[in-house]
Chain A
Amino acid sequence: MTPIQMTFSTNFLLGLMGLTFHRTHLLSALLRLESMMLSLFLATSLWALQLSTINIATVPMLVLAFSACSASSGLRLLVATARTHGSDHMQNLNLLQC
């Protein structure tokens, strides 16, 4: 594996592991989701640039657009959580517990 492929793959896996081992804040989980989408943008852009398959350059643009959608939805859920629970601490989201 060349170093650049290794870099964005570990970038993705680090974001995924950070998302798994989140601690307190919902916003930091959303930030790690963003870092995963960032590594996906890097991966698809490098695909277009390194292999000279120029038409694949549409994929990073569309991935970016839809990741903006998901980020904005997540942030609005964060706003809703802060309005009902007072903060975005994950331990407050426990309505399904007995």
Chain B
Amino acid sequence: MAAAAAALEAVAPTGALWGLVQDFVMGQQEGPADQVAADVKSGSYTVLQVVEALGSSLENPEPRTRARGIQLLSQVLLQCHSLLLEKEVVHLILFYENRLKDHHLVIPSVLQGLRALSLCVALPPGLAVSVLKAIFQEVHVQSLPQVDRHTVYSIITNFMRTREEELKGLGADFTFGFIQVMDGEKDPRNLLVAFRIVHDLISRDYSLGPFAEELFEVTSCYFPIDFTPPPNDPHGIQREDLILSLRAVLASTPRFAEFLLPLLIEKVDSEILSAKLDSLQTLNACCAVYGQKELKDFLPSLWASIRREVFQTASERVEAEGLAALNSLTACLSRSVLRADAEDLLDSFLSNILQDCRHHLCEPDMKLVWPSAKLLQAAAGASARACDHITSNVLPLLLEQFHKHSQSNQRRTILEMILGFLKLQQKWSYEDKDERPLSGFKDQLCSLVFMALTDPSTQLQLVGIRTLTVLGAQPDLLSSGDLELAVGHLYRLSFLEEDSQSCRVAALEASGTLATLYPVAFSSHLVPRLAGELCIEESDLARGDGPTKCSRHRRCLQALSAISTHASIVKETLPLLLQHLRQMNKGNTVAGTSEVIAVCQSLQQVAEKCQQDPESCWYFHQTAIPCLLALAVQASMPEKEHPVLKKVLLQDEVLAAMVSVIGTATTHLSPDLAAQSVAHIVPLFLDGNITFLPENSFPGRFQPFQDGSSGQRRLVALLMAFVCSLPRNVEIPQLNQLMRELLELSCCHNCPFSSTAAAKCFAGLLNKHPAGQQLDEFLQLAVDKVEAGLSSGPYRSQAFTLLLWVTKALVLRYHPLSSCLTDRLVGLLSDPELGPAAADGFSLLMSDCTEVLTRAGHAEVRIMFRQRFFTDNVPALVRGFHAAPRDVKPNYLKGLSHVLNRLPKPVLLPELPTLLSLLLEALSCPDSVVQLSTLSCLQPLLLEAPQVMSLHVDTLVTKFLNLSSSPSMAVRIAALQCMHAVTHLPTPVLLPYKLQVIRALAKPLDDKKRLVRKEAVSARGEWFLLGSPGS
């Protein structure tokens, strides 16, 4: 009974199996294969049982049936190869090898089976070789379809991965077999695999035997790759993929050199740009593995080709690749280890280059001077030895040429070349001081640079300044005497007149760079002179000695901030600047607003330079900030004696300049130092605690939040600069009181400056405050305040400003309440009084602020806030626009165009179809701000989404042409730029408009403004070229 049951159980599954097999083989259904494979995996049947069930179909005389049978087996094996036992594998392999001789219809399934077996871990030694031999012998791979060829490559790849030793036992036969397999391959998908295999053959050191040349032939016949993927190619193979994998093969071994180099030389000469580039890049790659031996015979031709390309090409890319190839060739020659008796090819190669290029360097007016210099520099950049060789030849020549040519522009070219060679020196460090090739030329170079610095030509001076910087960067090159002279020149250049602005800027920059290297030279030779200059000016200014004195004064401040790049220099310049500021605000001199701002700007630059060094940063903070606050508090004291003078420090622009100094000096403070500082500054504003200020004897109390004068209230801006720049983890004392005071101040004053500052400060703190009950309380307070203010009359605009800033703070950190507040703002767009301001408010919401809510000031700014704002609010804006009465529609358009304008273009593109009609409507809006912003929004879209835009070409062309006669010059310019951008739409769409446009654009050609005419000329020229031959 039990035995019968067991027998039944054994039969039942095999019965089911038999049915599945029949369905697959005879019924031509695909499903059963997976079913069988799943059952084998789950252990219901063994592979043997599958074979038995297939039995008759595998021996069927009809090849289609046999093929189907083998296909089923192969599919099962592909899924279950890991379960096979060694014994099974042996039998299966024998079976499959044998089947390779079968009818061609069967072959694809056989190959699939072999692929499955090639993945088998249990494959006994020897079988891999036998499978490959059988394939090489029995199958003519290139007559198979692409998929099956791919299978063969996969089998080979699998074996190479797991049976490397065995395959190497085959010796060169394996290589030869593979050569035959891939010979004639055409499909890019297969080529990628085949190239990979060849690369492995070479890099894993398989024996190539006598077949190196054949292997080269079979791969190099694809060079240079000329393949354009079909449109909508599902395989996603790019031309670049093929180029790189072929290059990896060709450049993988020196054994190909004798065949490859002639090929490359031939292809560099090709007419086709891509072939040139590919050849030069391949040459570049080869140099990584080649040595002198491989290159020896080809050097003259290689040099001739590269030289020709660099001398004659019109393409910057060819030039760049040619130079890169020369660089690696030289590097390769420099690197090779030589046998004792061999001659060093590097020297003769470099001599060749020098011989061909030297004479061009003597003609600084001719076209070839720069290509020659670039070639020499490319070679010199390859190794210390090459650099030495070339520099020692070229530098004396150039020095001599400099003196031979007297015109400034010739000298400039020569000096610029010298500069290029000097820069290359920095790549190599010389251990021994005497070995440095420059030390012999130092004096000549210095005198030449100083000559350039005193030349009347600005261009020559500029190059001189750059050269001086590079010379200074050479360790131990300049003597202290040279430095003193150099500092003297920089001092002079820093005071140049307005028309050589660029030179002055360069001199300041050079001073900054050199000051980090030679702080002593600058503090002993430059700082005292600048200090003296400031003092002299003081008395001259008092006599009212004209604007030139003022500007000298300003130059001096700029120079002081430019050289504050070293901690020790800051310790001298900062006290000078602060002293100067104090002096300006003391007693009898009347300083102008711009003077004070200039000092603040200098201070701000110094602060920026201190940010990276924690010690200088703290030094700056604790020195400058109490001083600035003390001056401001002093100025805010009610006093009768010097009312005009005091007011200077309280003016909007001066306070803004101080705000940026304080902000910059605070953002990089470490949290514990910041905590020390905050413990002084907050009590100063809340309680009037002035003890930490220097010179703290003031005539009155400092109470900006209580009933202090309006001057005192304005100083809240300084508080804002400080607390809004603190790191997020610094705790602010008396925060609750501070927030309430700020809120109070933000809504009830007739001084917009202080109420806005308070609103900004409130928003800045809100943005950084951690989520929680306290934050919710602050928000509730703010919302109540805003609503109260918006409903009643006198403080509506202040309440609106508060709303705007609070919204901004929340939008930036993705706070849930932000959507309510933005809805409130959108609602205000239809407010007759606040509507235009609300529209402009969107610009503020989307832009980056400078004083508060900045990333640098540690505010919480989420990266995608603009995108998010766009998706959340644009539908509401669009709805609002359609629903709004006619007279407030422009507000919606304006708001919308501010949002779109700031949005990254990739985000905007998919939204275009829905918004485009609105944008086109905005073009007809009479408000020129809307027109301008819409045009600047459309212009990039014309370039990036021509397909979408071309649907609206009629409207676009008409509206742009209309706007090109707008009364506003900026709109006319933007409209013409759009007209130019329109030419990027597909030409067939535009051709019907060509004549009309060309005629219409004749009018702006005669515009009264030159800038408009310029755009018209450029747009019209482009339209003429449309659809014209040669464009």
Q: Do A and B bind each other?
A: no
**Interface of B with A (CB < 8 Å)?**
none
**Interface of A with B (CB < 8 Å)?**
none
